[in-house]
Structure 1
Amino acid sequence: MTVTRFQDLPVADRAREWDGDAADKRVRAWAEAKDAPNAAYRDAHVWYDGDAADNFTAYKFLIADVVGGDLKVVPRAVMSAGGIVDGARGGVDIPKQEMPRVKAHLAKYYAKFGDTAPWER
């Protein structure tokens, strides 16, 4: 189990809609991750199960999309992930000891686009 390294990705327009399924397809194509996830695909997520790293379903909290050919963090994706780690939609099934690092990762992006994470308000 592991939290991905903070990538400090550029931020997409705050008004950009979030469609996780469509973003996942674009990220897979951009990362050239056809048959299995790779490091580029991993960078678009916040957390993954290291014991199943070659399985796409092991990756959680996709927060980035391909915009103009570049990988960018999408504020609405961060907000969606932030809500989930704060308990929305029943929360998420990851080890409790990983949650502080997941929250710290997300909080860095909240700060980057001028907002405060829900658990810090």
Structure 2
Amino acid sequence: MAVTSFQDLPVADRDREWDGAAAEKRVRQWAGAEDEPNEKYRDAHVWYDAENKDNFTAYKLLIADVVDGKLTAIPRGVMAAGNVMQGSRGGVDLPERDIDRVKSHLAKYYAKLDDTAPWDRD
């Protein structure tokens, strides 16, 4: 189990639409990961199951898309992942020991958006 390293990706405009399924396809193509995940594909996610890293289902919390040929964090993707960490859509099944690190990773993107992560709000 592993939290991906913070990539400090560029951030798209806040009003950019988020379509996770379409982003997934573009990220696979951009990363050259059509057959199996690789390190570039991993960078678009916040968490993955390191023991099953060769399976696409091992990757969770996609926050990025390909914009103008570059992997870019999408604010609505970051917010969707933040909401899932708060229990939206049934939450996400992660090891307890990884939850704080996932939240820290996401909080860095919230900060880049001049926003506060939902778990840090009063």
1:80 partner letter: A
How far residue 119 of structure 1 moved from its aligned partner, in angstroms, is 0.1
Shift of 1:120: 0.2
Q: Which residue of 2 aligns with 1:7?
A: 7
Tell me the residue number matched to 2:51: 51
1:88 is displaced (CA, Å) by: 1.2
TM-score (norm 1): 0.98
Question: In 2, distance between residues paired with 1:101 and 1:48?
Answer: 12
Q: What is residue 94 of structure 2 aligned with on the other side?
A: 94
TM-score (norm 2): 0.98
| Amino acid in structure 1 at the alignment position of 2:24 | D
User: Which amino acid letter does the alignment assign opposite residue 5 of structure 2?
Assistant: R
What value does the CA root-mean-square deviation take over the aligned residues?
A: 0.5
Q: Deviation of residue 113 (structure 1)?
A: 1.1
Aligned-residue sequence identity (percent) comes to 69
Q: Report the Cα offset of residue 96 of structure 1.
A: 1.1
Q: Deviations over 1:62-103 (max 9, x none)?
A: 000000111100000000000010111221111111100000
- After superposing on structure 2, the runs of 4+ consecutive aligned residues of structure 1 that deviate more than 2 Å are none
Report SS of the residue matched to 1:83.
helix
Q: How many residues align?
A: 121
Are 1:32 and 2:36 counterparts?
no
CA distance in 2, matches of 1:34, 1:119: 35
- Matched position secondary structure for 2:47: strand
Match of 1:85 in 2: 85
Distance, in Å, in 1 between the alignment partners of 2:34 and 2:90 is 31
The one-letter code of the counterpart of 1:71 is L
Residue number in structure 2 paired with 1:75 = 75
Secondary structure of 1:72's partner? strand
Query: Secondary structure of 2:66's partner?
Result: strand
In structure 1, the gaps of 5 or more residues are none
Please give the alpha-carbon distance, in whole angstroms, between the structure 2 residues aligned to 1:19 and 1:57: 18
**Matched AA of 1:64:** A
Q: Which amino acid aligns with 2:39?
A: A
